[in-house]
Amino acid sequence: MSSHSRQIATAPAHVRTDAQALYIHWPFCVSKCPYCDFNSHVRDRIDTARWEAALLTDMAYEAARTGGRPLSSIFFGGGTPSLMPPALVEALIAAAQAHWGFTPDMEITLEANPNSVEAARFADIAAAGVNRVSLGLQALDNEALHFLGRAHDVAEGLAALDTAQAVFDRVSFDIIYARPGQSEADWQAELARALAFGTGHLSLYQLTIEPGTRFATLVQQGKLTPADPDHGATLYELTQAMTGAAGISAYEISNHARPGQESRHNLTYWRYGDYAGIGPGAHGRRAGVATLRHKKPENWMDAIARNGQGTQGEDVLTGQDRAREALLMGLRLTEGVDLARIAALSGIAPTDLVDDRRIDQLVGLGLLHRRGVHLQVMAAGMLLLDAILPEIVAV
């Protein structure tokens, strides 16, 4: 199906619009990957009992402000949450259920590294209540894994994937492509292998050089040359074609799923739903308030001890803020956005949200699709999303 004839996607029936989500950040890793700009830290020793008490305290603070609506998802992110003791995972899930209650189709995801030591915990993590795992395979090539600073090799990663698919109801894994020196044929072969595993969800990201990372330093020193953008575009188009043919099409610019296997938690972000965020550096959105936790683990711990919660800031968002965020997040989705909904949550008229003249031009180029108050970025437009958004978002 061409991008011009593609039908507008609708929200999966299992997503409850009145529910909310919970994000729990575990900031610790065994080592720091050279491409990573996430809030992750390496520590020699972790006092698990103290961390459990602090996370439960932070959770209770958020629950007191967001009660009355059930959770549809919990996401344990990091860092490396698979390093968490399963008993701690279980305690946090139980506390969340007691605070909010769960929807019947509750999704509980935990990010995991595919190391054999962590894979050995998968059964216990599933028993703790996790029903979906997001596995950081990152590459199916040993040389690439070494380049990316990963601690596992391909054999270990695939063994972890086998274990995960045997233990968890739902499995996703990440692959980073457009790596330096990766040819179109290289990526085609690697992606074909990835698709052959039959996994329900894939996150396929082009390598980006983030400020402050080891890779950014190497680029500045002339020791690393990123992939050419045109080559990256070619690989992106190949990715869309292969995943679509395999029945695991993109529902977001970098995320692909079989029908019904979309990440419900991430859909809450992209659809601009409410979510609580606890743990170091965690963000949240609740009823028009943006929350941010202290980033450094020690600072977050001190705030918990001092204030009974770890927030660094709680800022009321203006209507323009909310509209802008909802547009920037929602237009990443294949299904697009409902401008009437965004107008209702922001108080800004649909005609003032976007630049109609520019949208008409981009519709004419086959980059956007508009039907009434529904706006959608087409497949060809996703390649240019970073350039398109500033052109059409008027708030």
Q: Kindly report which listed range (67-71, 336-340, 365-369) carries the lowest average pLDDT score.
A: 67-71
Count the neighbouring beta carbons within 10 Å of the beta carbon of residue 151. Answer: 15
Percent of the chain with pLDDT over 70: 91
Indicate the CATH number of 319-392 among 1.10.238.10, 3.40.50.970, 1.10.10.920, 3.30.2350.10: 1.10.10.920
**pLDDT per residue over 3-44, tens digit each?**
332 333 333 434 445 789 999 999 887 665 665 556 666 666
**pLDDT per residue over 289-324, tens digit each?**
999 999 999 999 999 999 999 999 999 999 999 999
- Is the pLDDT score of 262 beyond 70? yes
- Domain regions of the chain by residue span: 20-270, 319-392
Which residues are CB-contacts of 270 (< 8 A; sequence separation ≥ 6)? 252, 329, 330, 332, 333
3-state secondary structure string across 204-248: EEECCCCCCCHHHHHHHCCCCCCCCHHHHHHHHHHHHHHHHHCCC
What number does CATH give the domain 20-270? 3.20.20.70
Contact 63, 94 (CB under 8 A): no
* pLDDT at 82 (0 to 100): 87
